[in-house]
Structure 1
Amino acid sequence: MKTFFPVLLSFLLFQSLSSQTKLEQDRQAIKAMCGCYEVRFNFSETFQHTKDSTYKPSPDKITGGLEWVQLVEDNPEKIVMQHLLIVGPKDQQQIVKHWRQDWLYQNQDLYVYDGDKQWKYKELPYDEVIGQWTQKVYQVDDSPRYEGSASWVHVDGKHYWEDTTPAPLPRREFSIRDDYNITLRTNRQELTDFGWVHDQDNKKILKTETGKEVVLAEEKGYNTYTKVEDSRCKTAQNWWAKHNDYWADVRAEWQTIFENKQDISMLKSIDDKPLFMHMFELQDQDFTDKKIKKQIKAFIK
């Protein structure tokens, strides 16, 4: 029954997708990523381009766990989903607020990562985004991470979205190295018969002060999301119900910043703590909109 459940779910999903308009197909495919999943994260460095004999490849990174993907907002041209990672033994589960992905239809406003905690605002021409969806990915504290625009593809029974865009270093990397400052990510999100896959081909780039970009190495990422019963993610659902109001206020504050349509430059830390540590501490206190605004503003240069 464990194997049959995701296969049946995928069959019904694909049958539904085949009878819808393109926009409806896109929305259905995006929302199909919601739910409870057994996740496996796999990363391995593949090609080394640098001639530096002292360069050491990053070790393979293979981890996993349960992840709940919460549907936060569902509008005709905007879909918001929050990932919540469940860690620890069954009787002592803890929740890690993970990444967030927003999907915007025919969006023209993009924040492009430029290295060293800086994002450049870019307005996309309307004729270039017709029929496309922008995926906006945010850090665990809801600050910007990376964004890209592309079309969902529905052909030969396959349903996927793919884009290449610069991004900050992931935590598995910035915690162990500082010899590069940009990850050029090719992200492919594809529905499968068991759930969905986040397939990545990444380049590790050192961008110098003069703007020169040097590719040090490449990396393969292959993260699988295998659908399981939603009841297995009950702890995450309860956590979100308790903390939803706080993070809604955090998203609202960031949205006011994004609507300025200006470049964003952020501090790495205050009092030796990055923004996410400050925000996680605040969520368990008597927070107010003013406290949230003050904390976020303190990190913006």
Structure 2
Amino acid sequence: MKRVLLLTMLASAFTFNSAVAQKSKSQDQEAIKSMCGCHEVTFNFAETFNYVNDSTYMPSETKHDKGLEWVELVEDSKDKIALQHLLIVGDPAHPHIVKHWRQDWEYENTDLYLYNGDNVWNYEGLTKDDVKGQWTQKVFQVDDSPRYEGSSSWVHVDGKSYWENTTTAPLPRREYTKRSDYNITLRRNRQEITKDGWIHDQDNDKVLREAGKEDVIIAQEKGYNTYTKVDDSKCVAAQDYWKKTSAKWALVRTKWDEVFARNKNLSLEEKVDNKQLYKYLFSDTEYQNEAEISEVIESFVKK
């Protein structure tokens, strides 16, 4: 009798825990997908502290910018959600669409690529226990090459939904051609859903990493980007662009997935024939089929 009662209690506990986990996962999925749609965006970055003992040190300029951005849901499966950002710039009557960054969210993912400087991402395999209940956010550059990744749990408490993580990343594009005194950004990212949209809050270290030496923090910065939802009709141009180009970019993502599935350290060329990858892939006439896309991406992967 006692054994039957114990088994019944264990089964009930398992059922309860499974239901709680499923509810939490559903909340996570809802929060992630709520980032889709048309947004007025503000981009704000300011260097807060520097630690260089050099009177000639010049901190980065404070940056304030704004734009209109469409976030497209490009994949929505049981354990993966992919969001493509499309920036709308120029004359509103004749806007230009920039394929911007992409964020993929993968549930209980065990394969990470962590940036190590000099265009190298080190592969790290995690255990199922390491990532139980967590979502990996994988952020990609405009050509769908890797940028940064990190695994953490979504938190839903006191009416708030947010996700926080710390991970390494390349220099941001706003600094890439201006700074050579550091080679890694240690990003502390917080993405929080609000009643009007969402916020991307950052506290970043600018890190100099050299082989055989301890990392050196050159400076720190604050980033605060707001995404305020507006009517989808304001982003029709971006929606039309995606309808025309989505098939091509699906081929690009598939090729990169093949590269990532090799599960080994990844080192990429900065340029091939003095040309960056995005300049090849952004062509309206070339690199439109699987073979051409595969060949040009492989040319950037160091053997």
Task: Report the TM-score, using the length of structure 1 for normalisation.
Answer: 0.91
Offset, 1:100: 0.2
Q: Deviations over 1:151-205 (max 9, x none)?
A: 0000000100000000000100112111110000001000112110000000000
Match of 2:26 in 1: 24
Name the CA distance, whole Å, in 1 between partners of 2:260 and 2:212.
Answer: 27
Matches within 5 A, 1:195-210: 195-210=197-212
Tell me, yes or no, if structure 1 residue 106 matches structure 2 residue 114: no
On the 8 A contact 2:281/2:287 being kept in 1, the answer is no
Match of 2:296 in 1: 295
> What SS does the corresponding residue of 2:60 show, helix, strand or coil?
coil
- Letter of the 1:186 counterpart: R
- Letter of the 1:166 counterpart: T
- Letter of the 2:298 counterpart: K
Matches within 5 A, 1:83-122: 83-122=85-124
Equivalent of 2:252, from 250, 253, 267? 250
- Letter of the 2:288 counterpart: F
Match of 1:276 in 2: 278
Matches within 5 A, 1:1-301: 21-281=23-283, 283-285=284-286, 287-301=288-302
Name the CA distance, whole Å, in 2 between partners of 1:284 and 1:67.
Answer: 25
Offset, 1:270: 1.8
- Letter of the 2:125 counterpart: E
**Which ranges of structure 1 fall in alignment gaps of 5 or more residues?**
1-19
Name the CA distance, whole Å, in 2 between partners of 1:211 and 1:279.
Answer: 37
Give the aligned length. 281
Structural RMSD (CA):
1.1
Name the CA distance, whole Å, in 1 between partners of 2:75 and 2:123.
Answer: 24
> What SS does the corresponding residue of 2:182 show, helix, strand or coil?
coil
Name the CA distance, whole Å, in 2 between partners of 1:205 and 1:56.
Answer: 16
Offset, 1:211: 4.2
Considering only CA atoms, is the larger Rg found in Structure 1 or Structure 2? 2
- Letter of the 1:287 counterpart: Q
- Letter of the 1:278 counterpart: Y
On the 8 A contact 2:101/2:139 being kept in 1, the answer is yes
Match of 1:17 in 2: none
Name the CA distance, whole Å, in 2 between partners of 1:178 and 1:240.
Answer: 35
On the 8 A contact 2:280/2:287 being kept in 1, the answer is no
- Letter of the 1:300 counterpart: V
- Letter of the 2:291 counterpart: K
Name the CA distance, whole Å, in 1 between partners of 2:290 and 2:119.
Answer: 24
- Letter of the 1:77 counterpart: D
Q: Deviations over 1:83-131 (max 9, x none)?
A: 0000012112000110000000000000000001000000112111100
Match of 1:10 in 2: none
Match of 1:3 in 2: none
**Which ranges of structure 2 fall in alignment gaps of 5 or more residues?**
1-21
Please list every run of at least 4 consecutive aligned residues from structure 1 whose deviation after the TM superposition is greater than 6 angstroms.
none
- Letter of the 2:253 counterpart: R
- Letter of the 2:219 counterpart: A
Match of 1:13 in 2: none
- Letter of the 2:295 counterpart: K
> What SS does the corresponding residue of 2:296 show, helix, strand or coil?
helix
Name the CA distance, whole Å, in 2 between partners of 1:267 and 1:285.
Answer: 20
- Letter of the 1:83 counterpart: H
Identity fraction in percent: 57
Q: Deviations over 1:198-223 (max 9, x none)?
A: 00000000111324311000000000
Offset, 1:54: 2.3
Offset, 1:286: 6.1
Name the CA distance, whole Å, in 2 between partners of 1:65 and 1:239.
Answer: 17
On the 8 A contact 2:80/2:107 being kept in 1, the answer is yes
Name the CA distance, whole Å, in 2 between partners of 1:298 and 1:102.
Answer: 24
Q: Deviations over 1:233-286 (max 9, x none)?
A: 0000000000001000000000001111011001111232211111112x4336
Name the CA distance, whole Å, in 1 between partners of 2:259 and 2:266.
Answer: 9
Name the CA distance, whole Å, in 2 between partners of 1:53 and 1:209.
Answer: 27
